[in-house]
Each structure stands twice: as C-alpha cells, then as structure tokens.
Amino acid sequence: MLARDKSSLKRTPLHALHVARGGKMVPFAGYEMPVQYPAGVLKEHLHARSSAGLFDVSHMGQLALRPKSGQVEDAALALERLVPQDIVAVAPGRQRYAQFTNEDGGILDDLMVANFGDHLFVVVNAACKAEDEAHLRAHLSEACVIDSLTDRALVALQGPKAESALAKLCPDVTAMRFMDTGPRKVGGFDCFVSRSGYTGEDGFEISVPAEHAETLVTALLDNADVLPIGLGARDSLRLEAGLCLYGHDIDTTTTPVEGALEWSVQKSRRSGGARAGGFPGAEKILSQFEKGASRRRVGLRTEGRAPVREGALLFTDSASSEPIGKVTSGGFGPSLNAPVAMGYLPTSLSANGTSVFAEVRGQRLPLQVAAMPFVPNTYKR
Amino acid sequence: MTTLFTSDHEWLLIEGDVATIGVTDYAQSQLGDVVFVELPKVGRSLKKAEAAAVVESVKAASDVYAPISGEVVEVNEALVAEPALVNSDAGGKAWFFKLKIADRSELGGLMDEAAYKAHRA
C-alpha cells in the first residue's frame, strides 16, 4: 500500500483544494489523500461529532449496474449471486450494506448497494475497486452493463449539522431517512445523495461530477459549521462507531458471521429463506449461522490510558504464552477520551465484560470485551 | 546551561552533569495531538539510542530515544496526566525525563541550535 514514488499516486478531483487548505497529503490505496488539515486529528474528530465534517472519499469506486432487460430486479438477482444480502428487497431510493464473499466464505470487499429505480449503484473500497470491477464483469456481464463511474467525485458530509449545511444547497435532503438515496440537484449539479456515512453520525454521501466537485465542496466549506476532515479522523470516527475497515477488521480470511455482521445478512438468504444460499461460500456461512463460528469480532476497551494498536496479540491472562486472538484496529477515541480497539477472540471469550490481555511493548495490558458502537450512533431513521 | 539537539528531533538541556530531555516543537507538529505518554522508571540505566519513552498520538505510537547514555534521575509525571502538554509546550513544560550523564564525550555528537535548524531545513 505504501507507494515509494509519490508521482505514481493518483489524485482526486479535490487534490488542489486539500493542498490549498493545508492538508497533509499521504499515500493511501494508491492515492494522495489528506490525513489531516491544520486543525489536527483530535479537533477534526470532535468537530465531526459536534458540528459537521466534510470528507473526500473520491478514491472509492463508484459503479452502475444497468440491467440489460431494463428490469432492476434482474440486476438485483444477478448481484445476489455474489453477496449474501437480499438485494431484490432493496426498494427504489434505498440502499443496503453488503459484502462480496469468496468460495471459502471470506470477504473480498464490503460495499453499498443502492436501487436507483432502473439500475443499481454500488460504492466499493478504493483498494479493492479494480478487483471488484473485474469480479462484477466476470459474473454479471450477461445480465448487466457495468459502468465504472470514474468521472465522479464522492464526498461525505457528517455530523449533527450536516443536514442543515446540505439543505442550503438541496432543501429536499431534510425529508431523507437513514439509507435513503438517489439522484438530487445539489447547488445545481446532478448529484447522487444518500443519507449514510462512516462515522456513526447522521450525514450524507454525495456523488458529484468530477468537474463540479471543487465548486460544490467550496460551497459546503463556506458554511462556518463545516470543516474539512482527513483520513486520520475518519479512522478514529469509524472505530468509535464500531464500523469495520476492510483489509483490517474483515478480509478474505473472515466470514460475515465471524466479523459479527450477521445483521447484514437478511433472513431471505439464510437457510429456509426464499432465496437461501446461492452466493460464494454459502455452505460455510450458512453453517456458521446455525452452528456458530469459532471466533468473533469484538469491541475492546482498555483499563489504562495506553492505546492498543492493530496487530497486538491477545491472551487469556498476564502470563500465558499462546495468543488467543489479535487486535485488528486500535487507537484513541477522542469522543470517549480513551483508547478503543476491535479484534478477534474465540467465540467462547467474546461476551461483553470478558477480561483479556493485550501485549504492548512486552507488557500485558488488561482489556475488556465491550459492546459496539463505543459511541452511540445518531442516524435519522 | 546549553541546549543540544538530535537528528531524531529531541532536545537536551545540559545543566552540570544532568541532561533534561524532550522533543522539539517540530517533532510535536509531526506527531499531531498527543494522547498518551509512557516514561522510563527512575533509576533505569539507559544506553545511547535505546527506546526510553513512548509518545502516542490519536493515530500512531512513536519512541523517544535516549540521546545519550545515563541513569534516569527524574521523570515528568505531569506529562502522564496531561499528554497534550507535548503539543502546547514541547520545548518547556513538556520535558520527558532527566538523565545523569554517563559519558560527556557523547555530547560531542549532538547539534547546537543553528546546526539543528539547518538539519531541519
């Protein structure tokens, strides 16, 4: 992921804006992205929780799946062959969280799937977007025309003042509920707006034609409530919200059940459901729904002030030599003013309140399994 | 009283046979918001370049190295209680620890302020 040569890195349509606003640019998933602005990670994080934060997520992949039959249900049925979610049931103007699975039940990527009435709109992770597009073309080309929407930027506006800030440019957004989505005019531009995000806060994600991205974002940032937020705070916000980071908390070696994502697999795709199975790794995943999995993703809180970071090994006590699990994301939660982490533990040790130890710089630090989200979400349902 | 600097962006205030050690303002600006500091135990003997303290921002952990060899004679407990001091007063109140200098010849390898400014530029 670390590119040695900055010149090989791609830039988003908002690159000049980031630099002009003092963004500290770092390599991320093949792009030059702002990790923070002069305000710093702590202030940016707290601002997104108390007011509104603007995030450039244009590095993510945006694709349209257009059914050749003209019936969006055919695109939904086709996509259901790759994900364990009920896509047919996603109503027009709604979106749903999903995962591409592999034959072993592991997760190839996680994504958002929106029903735009006559086609599906999907958003995938930056680091996986080339593989995801190839995967879609390999399996869906018979049913769908797959358009990679590389001419669009994507921004997120998150926080309690996101609605009022966006409503100045698009009054309709006040009527939207969590996971509502669809085309909207924002500041006169043809955008796709969804009421969703990656912070645990109420907020919106806005896909905008690349050539208008800077104008739109400048208009949003002209509002004193809105500050630009870098990847640093994006990570601490999503961690406090208990949301998975692909490639860290979930990957090809973790199933949706092990990843504690059962809530995202609708009954219709589970054993006994109307369209049970029929996705890669269904046998393993559905068996884990019935019999349970041997390990599980959990939230972890420390007793002390020392953050426990990704990669730290977990143990049952302060002396045992065999690790029982590993931290997959960890850091400091500015809203909690305390360290927070998530990781994998044997299911038998995954109940809230269970005591475990993490090894940090040769010392065993006490941790407790804790409910997620660590910070309650404020979605407008 | 002399202040010296290392290429790892630490400063040393030399008073007699004791060196007070901290990180420079440039270092704190690179670290970002400091949320946790771990200090060495008083009485610990440190070798030059040994990891002596830990400073953590929201995003990452970094080591503070012993710029010279010596015994830890005092640590700044105020930093443990208020890690953000590193950001607000890196060159002053946010000193990390004091070492009893073991080998004065090691000071010869350090930079004065002018040399450090040139190094940073």
Question: Per residue of chain A (381 residues), what is the pLDDT tens digit?
Answer: 444 556 789 999 999 999 999 999 999 999 999 999 999 999 999 999 999 999 999 999 999 999 999 999 999 999 999 999 999 999 999 999 999 999 999 999 999 999 999 999 999 999 999 999 999 999 999 999 999 999 999 999 999 999 999 999 999 999 999 999 999 999 999 999 999 999 999 999 999 999 999 999 999 999 999 999 999 999 999 999 999 999 999 999 999 999 999 999 999 999 999 999 999 999 999 999 999 999 999 999 999 999 999 999 999 999 999 999 999 999 999 999 999 999 999 999 999 999 999 999 999 999 999 999 999 999 999
* Longest CA span, chain B: 38
Q: Is the ipTM of this complex over 0.90?
A: no
Could you write out the DSSP letters of every residue in A65-122? EEETTS-HHHHHHHHTTT-SS--TT--TTBEEEEEEE-TTS-EEEEEEEEE-SSSEEE
Residues of B engaging A, defined by a Cβ cutoff of 8 Å: 32-33, 35-36, 38, 54, 56-61, 80
- Report the Cα A354 to chain-centroid distance in Å: 27
Say if CB B43 and CB B49 are below 8 A apart: no
With tokens 């809203």, the residue in question is A335
CA A338 to chain B, closest CA, distance in angstroms equals 9
First to last CA, chain A: 36
* Closest CA in chain A for residue B35: A332
DSSP lists the bridge partners of residue A296 as: A345
Domain boundaries, chain A: 61-148
Residue B67 makes CB contacts below 8 A (sequence gap 6+) with: B4, B6, B8, B10, B12, B19, B21, B48, B110
- Cα distances (Å, whole numbers) of residue A6 to A3, A11, A33, A236: 7, 10, 11, 25
- Taken in order A214, A215, A217, A222, the sign of the CA dihedral is positive
What burial letters (b/e) apply to A241-259, b meaning 16+ CB within 10 Å?
bbbbbbbbbbbeebbbbbb
CATH of domain B2-103: 2.40.50.100
Residues of chain A found within 8 Å of residue B56, distances taken between Cβ atoms: 306-307, 332
CA distances from A154 to A18, A61, A194 (A): 14, 9, 11
Chain B residues touching A232 at Cβ < 8 A? 32, 58-59
- Does B61 contact A45 at a Cβ distance shorter than 8 Å? no
Contact assignment for B58 to A361 by CB distance below 8 Å: no
Domain residue spans of chain B: 2-103
Q: Rounded to the nearest 5 degrees, what angle is found at the Cα of B98, between the Cα atoms of B96 and A302? A: 35
CATH code assigned to A61-148? 3.30.70.1400
The whole-angstrom separation of Cα A151 and Cα B111 is 51
- State the best of B33, B65, B86 to mutate against chain A, taking most chain A CBs within 10 Å: B33
